[in-house]
């Protein structure tokens, strides 16, 4: 499956990861994909969502 592009107004990467990846702990994958360091989003953001990967660990960046 390919990356998905979404636009969100505020919120946080935990909620985005839960909705699009099925696991809030995988927020770090979205952060890394978009070069974001803070999971709390300010303003309007266009984000690239990586493909769903049920085997991906979550929560801690490498």
Per-residue pLDDT tens over the stretch 16-51: 999 999 999 999 999 999 999 999 999 999 999 999
- Cα torsion at 20, 24, 29, 34 (round to 10°)? 70
What CA–CA distance (Å, rounded) separates 53 from 43?
Answer: 28
pLDDT band at 4 (very low <50, low <70, confident <90, very high): very high
Full-model pTM: 0.86
Give the residues across from 4 on adjacent strands: 49
Surface-to-core class of residue 44, CB atoms within 10 Å of its CB (0-12 exposed, 13-18 middle, 19+ buried): exposed
pLDDT band at 62 (very low <50, low <70, confident <90, very high): very low
- Give the torsion sign (CA, 56, 58, 61, 62): negative
- Pairwise pLDDT comparison (27 vs 54), residue with the higher score: 27
């Amino acid at each position: 499956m390919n990356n998905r592009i979404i636009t969100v107004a505020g919120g946080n990467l935990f909620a985005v990861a839960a909705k699009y990846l099925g696991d809030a702990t995988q927020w770090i994958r979205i952060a890394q994909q978009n070069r974001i360091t803070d999971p709390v989003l300010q303003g309007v953001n266009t984000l690239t969502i990586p493909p769903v990967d049920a085997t991906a660990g979550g929560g801690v960046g490498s």
